[in-house]
Amino acid sequence: MKSTHILTALSLPLCATTGFSQAVEMKQEPKSQRPNIVIILGDDLGYSDLGCFGGEIKTPNFDALAKEGVRFNQFYTSASSSPTRSMLLSGVDTHLNGMGNMSEMTAPNQMGVPGYEGYLNNRVTTLPQLLKDAGYHTYMAGKWHMGKQPDQIPAARGFERDFALLDGAGSYWDMMNFSANTPKSTFTEDGRYLKSLPKNYYATKTYTDKMIGYIEANRADGKPFFAYMSHQAPHDPYHLPREWRNRHVGEYDKGWDVVRQERLQRQIEMGLVPKGTELAERMWFIPQASLLAPATKMIMGKKMELYAGLVENVDYHTGRLIDYLKKIGEYDNTIFIVFGDNGAEGTDLFAQIVGSAGTANYLFAAIAWSQTHPNAWGDPQSYVGYGPMWAQVSMTPFSQYKGNLAEGGIHNCLIVKGPVVKRPAGSINGGFMHVADIMPTLLEVAGASYPKTVNGQEPPPLIGKSWVKMLAGEEESPRSGQDYMAWEIFGNRAVRQGDWKLIWQYKPFGTGDWQLFNLATDLSERHDLATQQPEKVKSLVALWDKYVQDNKVILPDRVIWEQQEKRLPDRYPVVDGFPPLISQKQFIPPANMMADPKP
Amino acid sequence: MNNKIKSLHLGIAILAFTIICPMFASAQVPPRFYWKSLAGGQAVPVIFQSLNANANPLDPSSFIPSDAQVEANVATVGYAIMLPMFDRTLTLAILEPMGRVSGTTTIAGKSYNEDATGFGDPTLEVGYNLIGPKAIKNIPDMLRYEPKFSLDLIVDIAFPIGEYDNDQSLNLGQNRWYGRVGAPIVWQIGPWVPGRRTTLELFPSVWFYSDNTDFVGQTLSTDPLFHLEAHLTRDITEHFWASFDTTWKAGGKASLDGVEGSSLNTLAVGITLGYQINDNLSLTAGYMTTVNDSDPGDMQMDAFRISFTYGWHPMVQGMNRLKSE
């Protein structure tokens, strides 16, 4: 207890320099008991993309981590980028930590309301800050997306070294961004805003180089490190070096329906999903791939080829980081946490930003993003996203994708490997887990604790549960059957308790009413049980109401879904092969009944 | 002796007229001609050439008078089709030159004038791709086409059925079999993105000639001729491109009843501009002139060339119809 007080006192001046006055309790432990931490975050990475989660994409380095560690098949994030990141680094619900909505989507009635600042607010502290105070080096490379002002950037939120893209996305090759009003991405390096990017910049490579450099620069002092590899990839635009673009030529011409089936089959064989799991219904506005013309299949398939190359490129650079850690002898003492920040991206972000002809953004896109030919895809100034059809593939077997609260928006892959993992190597765990759990888990691992005050005020509570016991094999899940999780983003809402999930989404992705699914038997959310289970609906709505109250949720009065129902075709159940007219095969009569015409 | 000299001069004058004929009879194709297209695709090239030379472009022997003037206006119409064979591209083409050619030279104070009009010898070309992308059998293949490093083997053979008058030395037809074996190379430099494509194209070939035994009562023989074409092409816009061209010819020494000319060593440079007018029609315009022609006995030649190529494929036509609906 005495040593704790001493360290707390020592930590105070450091906290003061960063504008925080939190009290950090730290247990002093020998270095060998304090593992390094590497978080590898894939931006819009799909649940089934990695090889170890059923993907055909070649990810040997991630697969190796999975083989030595544990895969988790019940891991949840937010349905969108910055909200997930905010919970990862604060452990606090988005509606309290400043990311109640994405800054790009804040509704009029949320403007100026605490919890909806659009950046990680100063009522919360951060994981890197607490780890730094606990004696860790804290490094970040990659996408930040939680504020651009000097007091909001990585250096101000606990990172000792950083090379960060502050925007939500942008070119992988340069500082080009998407709109006339925001033509340039903003980057920081070690707390300074960059005027230009390093020579030979390519996002994934440069981020990895920087991270290795940070670790190398300080490794002599023997302190453990926290490395946040927040990759921009595989978020669109799919920019990647030429040598990574042609690794799957023609492989996806078979279409999304086939690839989804293949992934599901592998997932069943791996034990990631139960036997008998159905694929979610193909989105009603996506065509049956087998009916498409070869040229269309090829062009659509090429988008997925690029995406696969992008994921493989991330895997390759992850391999570089792993090799480096092995080389310096730190690999075995490092916890790796690998996951995607939300569902795969099925929305045409570029079209949303560009708008229509005659606008400044449209003109900007025509000039700055002019490389539209398929052979230029991947180059600077090209913009390719793979669309909802492949996003559903990435989210096999789930329904929908990023931005939505169906499983395809929030259910993601997770690999944990490292000295705290005592579960069988290569095993799969079905614990009920959330991105906000990472903060309490890592605080426990590092011997730190959540402060009682931040800037003189009591901080919002952590919503996560530590995984330490679960990783040690002492329990199967950090949550009991009575624990629940809830989500609200863009006005859509969901709550899950045990096997039951209640979801309300705007039409046409939802019904504009509560739907109820039993995920134990219906992982793909095909069978709405709301009318059959009114009591269950009632009890989950009560939990939702509690969530709203506890977290000061303000439902937005304007949402991105407003025009969706008009823009998309009417929704009918999707039945492949209906009507038979469009997919009937040529009739071939019995050979012995064929005859020439009579004279 | 005088008769011998006269005979020699006459022979040289004849050579001055005749050896130029293969130059235009076997019309050079424009840069980017050996890019591959969809199997089953067909094309009709029409190549206009206007050529002037002050001497025998193939035989710049020092004793040839430099006042020979040959003018040729020739159109070559062709037909080409690409087919898959053993998963690689087979190209069949036929080229038929036609037009008029006239020449004047003065030998020993005597002026010789000749002209000829009509059809030349048709040339059949068979090309087979040995290295490079596989045959383009469907639209996805076509969309994926990039030549990278592509090498073909081509064989040309000209049939001696063109207009020929054995009373004069200047003809469109050659009255002999001739042809060539070559290996056109397309070497992609950088990305294959319309607007940014760059290629280095090399076309080494060797021409072979049989004897013409009825050449103004004499026998014309020609040694094999080495011919190297090179084009550095670059897109200027998505549909507009330019090429720096050079051609070198060596060998090809002609002899008339044993009277020998000299081997050639002719270097010419030029430029070509190309424009893809629409999915079916492309246009090129080019100019080429000799450069190693400063000595009095050197051959001087220049040529303008305009080509139109109309290409079609039922699948592409069908797609275009769908686009218009």
pLDDT, tens digit (0-9, with 9 covering 90-100), for A392-417: 999 999 999 999 999 999 999 999 99
Nearest to B191 among A249, A293, A375 (CB): A375
Residues from chain A that touch B144, judged by Cβ atoms under 8 A, are 249-250, 298
Mutating which of B193, B321, B322 best tests the A interface, going by the most A Cβ atoms within 10 A? B193
| Mean pLDDT of the residues in chain B | 84
Mean pLDDT of B99-126: 84
Q: Is A207 helix (H, G, I), strand (E, B) or coil?
A: helix
Query: Distances in Å between the alpha carbon of B209 and those of B159, B172, B174, B178?
Result: 11, 15, 10, 4
Nearest to A253 among B140, B146, B238 (CB): B140
Cβ pair A379:B192 closer than 8 A: no
Question: Where are the extended beta strands (E) located within chain B?
Answer: 42-53, 69-85, 88-107, 110-119, 123-131, 149-158, 178-182, 185-188, 198-209, 212-215, 218-222, 225-235, 240-251, 254-256, 259-260, 264-276, 281-290, 301-312
Q: How far is B193 from chain A (nearest CA, A)?
A: 5
Q: Which residue has the higher pLDDT, A13 or B38?
A: B38
In this prediction, residue B324 has a pLDDT band, given cuts at 50, 70 and 90, of: low
The pLDDT of residue A15:
36
| pLDDT reading at A30 higher than 80 | no
| pLDDT reading at A193 higher than 50 | yes
On whether the CB atoms of residues A396 and A412 are closer than 8 A, the answer is no
pLDDT above 90 covers a percentage of chain B that reads 56
A371 and B CB contact within 8 Å: yes
> Can you list the domains of chain A with their CATH numbers?
35-462+484-567 (3.40.720.10)
A292 and B CB contact within 8 Å: no
B138 and A CB contact within 8 Å: yes
Of the candidate ranges A220-224, B175-179, B248-252, B282-286, the one whose mean pLDDT is the lowest: B248-252
| pLDDT reading at A432 higher than 90 | yes
Residues from chain B that touch A376, judged by Cβ atoms under 8 A, are 191, 193, 196
Mean pLDDT of A195-219: 97
A373 and B CB contact within 8 Å: yes
B325 and A CB contact within 8 Å: no
Residues from chain A that touch B191, judged by Cβ atoms under 8 A, are 242, 375-376, 379
> What gap in Å lies between CA A484 and CA A497, rounded to an integer?
4
ipTM of the complex: 0.80
Of the candidate ranges A36-50, A152-166, B91-105, the one whose mean pLDDT is the lowest: B91-105
Nearest to A295 among B140, B192, B196 (CB): B140
B318 and A CB contact within 8 Å: no
Tell me, letter by letter, the H, E, C secondary structure of A458-487.
Answer: CCCCCCCCCCHHHHCCCCCCCCCCCCEEEE
Q: Number of CB pairs < 8 Å for A and B?
A: 35
Cβ pair B193:A371 closer than 8 A: yes
Tell me, letter by letter, the H, E, C secondary structure of A496-560.
Answer: EECCEEEEECCCCCCCCCEEEEECCCCCCCCCCCCCCCHHHHHHHHHHHHHHHHHHCCCCCCCCC
| pLDDT reading at B13 higher than 50 | no
> Can you list the domains of chain B with their CATH numbers?
2-324 (2.40.128.130)
Q: Name the residue of chain B whose CA is nearest to A252's CA.
A: B140
The pLDDT of residue A475:
97
Mutating which of B144, B148, B321 best tests the A interface, going by the most A Cβ atoms within 10 A? B144
Nearest to A294 among B140, B196, B238 (CB): B140
Instruction: Say if residue B50 is exposed, middle or buried (CB neighbours under 10 Å; 0-12, 13-18, 19+).
Output: middle
pLDDT per position as a tens digit, A47-74:
999 999 999 999 999 999 999 999 999 9
Residues from chain A that touch B319, judged by Cβ atoms under 8 A, are 295
> What gap in Å lies between CA B187 and CA B234, rounded to an integer?
12
pLDDT per position as a tens digit, B38-67:
999 999 999 999 988 875 443 333 334 456
Q: How far is A206 from chain B (nearest CA, A)?
A: 23
Cβ pair A376:B191 closer than 8 A: yes
Mutating which of B134, B142, B143 best tests the A interface, going by the most A Cβ atoms within 10 A? B143
pLDDT per position as a tens digit, B215-242:
888 898 889 999 999 999 999 999 999 9
The pLDDT of residue A74:
97
Q: How far is A161 from chain B (nearest CA, A)?
A: 37
Q: How far is A243 from chain B (nearest CA, A)?
A: 11
